Structure 1
């Protein structure tokens, strides 16, 4: 019934603006007889005439004038709102809320964001950094970024980065004091800087060589919850770090850090951007394109 009333009011406004059933019917794309029947039905429900019909002109009655003053501004607001929504589709805007772990922000999101924000000034991006497996639906995020194996099967996931080899690194001064481990199990004799994850506790160090895999719980004096802090601690000679190789590559090339156990590197799956199994907003479509590029 509400939809019928809205269509009847649209018909009423068209006739009142055109002062003609013929012109109004053409504007609405209906026959003149169908339009006349719609107006008669509206007048019967309101129990009062809305138009005075002559052979030359259609004009409003006093009741019609009052109805026009009442519904005309509201219908105009609706038209403007729909026009704005259409413009929004053509020129994406709004806020994208994204949950990502720290390294994903550093290595995947941040390199793409400056150009993306410059290209779409009406889009805002809000990023929450955490290592937990956030419920992006319950927490009202538009998307999340995690390694592929951590993404729930009921999500749509898009690969946005390369596979991620890990590296064990330390400062040259540290190795002068403590020597270099040749095998993963020798790490128990070293100060290792641990990463604490919110749900899983201390992050286990995983190594792989050929078909052999080792997962170790290492120990040390320092536990942090930030990879960037761990890298700085390693550079200061406070222990060994197990971090994405790309994160420390510049420090390895400069000599500030030295990699050990290179033959035992473990490689994690790539980062994926994921979102619920529903139509994503235009702004998110554009961000996906930017990240894949």
Structure 2
């Protein structure tokens, strides 16, 4: 058995929330079905190129809604898991303002490390103790090779952690790879969901054109797509609040069990020293 995780991020500074990390996990036994269904929809809808949140426009809105329906159908069938992690500026700024310049530069990979280690609840994932290999597909990193290689080594060393050993999880170094989202439809869908959360949590749906005083067509289209995504999330978890960490409902194993959840990450002095780049 293998878990394949497709990871996307946006370190763009938002008015209210920043540092968005998103990931979609699929088990190897479901991989072919998941990819085929997503690609089949794209073909039937005549979507020939890469889909991304930044490409959402009014003419393509219904096609994007349709693709998200396929994606969330797969989540409801427990053939996919989706996680989104972000920071609220009001909370995190008071802590990270004490960071050195070097620590600010390293925070991108430190946050990614926390996301991989904790967001999916991997340490609770293997109740049968079957040996499971983890494959990680990252959208191409915006950093120099030396930092990327150090990050990959830290991810690789997770296999030596108590949590991974107890869950019988392993990672091969060659399975930690950078990819082009153009070639991976699961990663494209993760980008759309993550982008939608950045859009809504930073209240970009309220932005207006300075000249006309009205919202643009693209802004309206993105709001409609966000609302549809939120509606589908609420089918999984009623009254879902996108701005807070998702409750485990009293059972820590639900960090793994849930098909969709959010993590509002708060930095701490402990996290600050987690990785030494």
Under TM normalisation by the shorter chain, which class is it? under 0.3
Name which structure has the greater RCO, CA cutoff 8 Å, separation 6+: 2
More strand by share: 1
* Higher Rg: 1
The TM-score, its normalising length taken from structure 2, stands at 0.23
More helix by share: 2
